[in-house]
Structure 1
Amino acid sequence: MNPNKTELSNEELSRYSRQILMPEIDYSGQLTLAQSHAVIFGLGGLGSPASLYLAAAGIGKLTLVDFDEVDDSNLQRQIVHRELNVGQAKVASAKSNLAQLNRLIEIATIDRKLSEEEIQELVISADVVLDCTDNFASRFALNRTCHKAQKPLISGAAIRWEGQLSTYDFRNPDSPCYQCLYSEDSGQELTCSQNGVLSPVVGMVGSMQAIEAVKALLGLPTLTGKLMIIDAYTMMIRTLNLKKDPECQHCS
């Protein structure tokens, strides 16, 4: 949180008026969003829509973490980037385009691979963390650091026609963790580069991650203790209960 911001400007009142009209948000909720710091790990298919909507919604500070560069094959689904950004660092590309969307927010970038100690330091400074990465190693590292720092972690994934989403809110001692869902020795992971993905599917999941992040910041009900599974081919969405594993090697 940024305690130095104590009120919304007239420009912010106008820009965010449609959210302020909502009773679950109101003036005080929008001020909370403006005071908040969200960290997004991964500026690919999930991080693109998530960052766009969080910037548009008025999250006061976004920290973007990615050490990859924009490739032309990314443009099919990574909508925060443009053709002219090919060859640039993803975080630089995203910052430039997000700043054109909302100049009222602060955007910080990290374009290198972080150690777990550095991740921990960054997570401590955040109010919410979005896992938009595409590999198990990063997901388990973020799960560990967010659990240790007691910060809410919004985790999304997508492949082919399928997506999944959950929130691990470690401010709640009863929240399960990512390792309650997948153990670190669960086997080979699927990747978009090998199996493909339909671009609107990552758009759905990333946008939902942004919704969950806003709700977590405002203290509204989230998917904590639940797993949402999306089948875009049949347009079916299921929400399953996800309980804390009493034998989880990490959180139990």
Structure 2
Amino acid sequence: MLSKEELIRYNRQIILPDFGIKGQEKLKAARVLVIGAGGLGIPNLTYLAAAGVGNIGLVEFDEISLTNLQRQVIYTANQIGESKSKSALATIRQLNPNVNTQLYETRLDASNALDIIRNYDVVVDGSDNLPTRYLVNDACVLLEKPLVYAAIYRYEGQVTVFNVQRTDGSRGPNYRDLFPVPPPPEMVPSCNEGGVFGALAGIIGTMQANEVIKLLAELGELLDGRLLLYDSQSFTTRFLNIKSNKNNPISGDQPTINSLIDYEAFCGAERTEKTEKSDDDISVQELKEMIDNGRIPFLLDVREPYEYAISNLNGLNIPLSELENELHQLSQNETMVIHCKSGQRSQRALEILRNRGFSNLKHLRGGILAWQKEIDNDMEIY
């Protein structure tokens, strides 16, 4: 039952054809879980709250940083260092006090995902990493929950709705029908490495919210079985049809996954930290010892120039994308320690140089992040 205040607040929505009071009451009764309060999560949270979704849960454990402000537009400079989740929920409560909110200030993993997700009607994936995407997908499939998915990278974004219950009782395709297995981690640069166009997060996140509202109010045609691909540079869209795969390991004819697994191991995301040190690796402690003893190796920093300008180890800066054109700047006779922010780009650089005949190569395990954590806590990294 809608109050008089709600009838006035949602008037422009209620008078829409095919929406009406019935659609608004469906939104009020609905329970939506948003994973992440970042570039995608924020437009979802704000538009779902504004539209009158009655119950919104948020999973987020991160803090606000300076780099967030370029696209995560509800945060302000004076909130840097504060909790994203608490700030985001405070904003939507001010936007619409009719919304009931639930905060899960924790990292979503296989131990808690089912218990959290089972309480909601629809899940919105605003995460930015492969382990969480596979985790959320599998939990939604096991619990028979629809999942509104999106991803952004550089100037491009994609949106779809997974695991929708259709009128014939079947379920639509899920993330594993689109991506059965994850690519190698070194082939998946993050937004930290590749960048993201700020306005794109708002565009794609709002498209997600649009699909959530349609799903809850039973409006229009969902992006079920269709992946929308959007290019913000050319302002073009195209669609990729997704079909259910009978060999899908969680929803196919003979599923092999009937419980949540170790998604970090599955996606190889923790390879750098968890595997044994290889002959190509050098730790930050070993590098520090070499420098302190006057045995300073040739340091090659393959990050982007803007990253190097913020903080560096006084090495030569050649971005990974330009490395093959700048080999003349490098000596094949010196021991070379290649490094980047986290270690992924430096691993790729090592492979490039080895294929070009370079030897005596070392890769700094954990990159500048590890140096900041273990050697120089005052180093600024963004």
Number of the residue aligned with 1:199? 198
Structure 2: gaps spanning 5 or more residues: 253-382
Q: Distance in 2 between matches of 1:40 and 1:174?
A: 21
Number of the residue aligned with 1:67? 61
Q: Distance in 1 between matches of 2:184 and 2:19?
A: 42
Q: Distance in 2 between matches of 1:80 and 1:55?
A: 14
Tell me the TM-score normalized by structure 1. 0.94
Number of the residue aligned with 2:137? 143
Q: Which moved more, 1:84-93 or 1:50-59?
A: 84-93
1:102 deviation in Å? 1.0
Task: Please say if 1:45 is aligned against 2:42.
Answer: no
1:94 deviation in Å? 0.2
Q: Distance in 1 between matches of 2:49 and 2:79?
A: 19
Tell me the TM-score normalized by structure 2. 0.63
| Residue correspondences, number | 246
Number of the residue aligned with 1:234? 234
In 1, are the aligned partners of 2:228 and 2:239 still within 8 Å (CA)?
Answer: yes
Q: Distance in 1 between matches of 2:126 and 2:18?
A: 26
| Residue of structure 1 aligned with 2:121, choices 127, 134, 140 | 127
Q: Distance in 2 between matches of 1:198 and 1:185?
A: 24
In 1, are the aligned partners of 2:109 and 2:135 still within 8 Å (CA)?
Answer: no
1:219 deviation in Å? 2.4
Structure 1: gaps spanning 5 or more residues: 1-6
Quick one: which amino acid aligns to residue 145 of structure 1?
A: A
Task: Please say if 1:218 is aligned against 2:212.
Answer: no
RMSD: 1.2
1:86 deviation in Å? 1.4
Q: Distance in 1 between matches of 2:17 and 2:72?
A: 33
1:64 deviation in Å? 0.8
Quick one: which amino acid aligns to residue 242 of structure 1?
A: I
Number of the residue aligned with 1:58? 52
1:156 deviation in Å? 0.4
Quick one: which amino acid aligns to residue 39 of structure 1?
A: L
In 2, are the aligned partners of 1:49 and 1:80 still within 8 Å (CA)?
Answer: no
Task: Please say if 1:32 is aligned against 2:26.
Answer: yes
In 2, are the aligned partners of 1:140 and 1:184 still within 8 Å (CA)?
Answer: no
Q: What percentage of aligned pairs have identical amino acids?
A: 35
1:117 deviation in Å? 4.0
Q: Distance in 1 between matches of 2:229 and 2:30?
A: 28
| Residue of structure 2 aligned with 1:86, choices 80, 83, 104 | 80
In 1, are the aligned partners of 2:109 and 2:132 still within 8 Å (CA)?
Answer: no
In 1, are the aligned partners of 2:32 and 2:121 still within 8 Å (CA)?
Answer: yes
Quick one: which amino acid aligns to residue 180 of structure 2?
A: S
